[in-house]
Amino acid sequence: MVRTKRQRNANHQPTAASTLPPSLPRSMEEDLLRSSGVAPDIVIGVDEAGRGPLCGPVVAAAVFIDRDTYISHGICDSKSLSDEGDREMVYEELTSNKGVKWSVGIVDNKTIDNINILQATFSAMAEAVTKLVKCGKKGLKYHILIDGNKTPAQLVMHITRILQSA
Cβ-in-10-Å burial (0-12, 13-18, 19+) of 134 comes to exposed
What is the average per-residue pLDDT within 67-76? Answer: 72
Query: How do residues 139-154 score in pLDDT, each as one tens digit?
Result: 888 888 887 788 888 8
Query: How do residues 79-113 score in pLDDT, each as one tens digit?
Result: 777 778 888 888 888 889 998 999 999 999 999 99
- Evaluate if pTM is beyond 0.75: no
Residue 127 among known ligand-binding residues: no
For residue 157, how far is the Cα from the chain centroid?
15
Q: How confident is the model at residue 11 (pLDDT cuts 50, 70, 90)?
A: very low
> Across 30-44, 65-79, 117-131, which has the greatest mean pLDDT?
117-131
- What is the C-alpha separation between 47 and 146, in angstroms, rounded? 6
3-class SS letters over 38-76: CCCCEEEEEEEECCCCCCCCEEEEEEEECCCCCCCCCCC
- pLDDT at res. 10: 43
What is the average per-residue pLDDT within 27-32? Answer: 64
Which residue(s) pair with 58 in the sheet? 107
- pLDDT at res. 76: 66
List the domains of the chain with CATH numbers. Answer: 5-68+81-164 (3.30.420.10)
Nearest to 11 by CA among 100, 90, 89, 103: 103
CB atoms within 10 A of CB 155: 20
Sign of CA dihedral 107, 146, 70, 136: negative
- What is the C-alpha separation between 67 and 56, in angstroms, rounded? 35
Q: How confident is the model at residue 163 (pLDDT cuts 50, 70, 90)?
A: low
Query: How do residues 36-70 score in pLDDT, each as one tens digit?
Result: 676 778 888 899 988 766 778 999 999 988 878 87
Residue 48 among known ligand-binding residues: yes
Residue 147 among known ligand-binding residues: yes
In the chain, helix, strand, coil percent, each to 5?
Answer: 35, 25, 40
SS3 137: coil
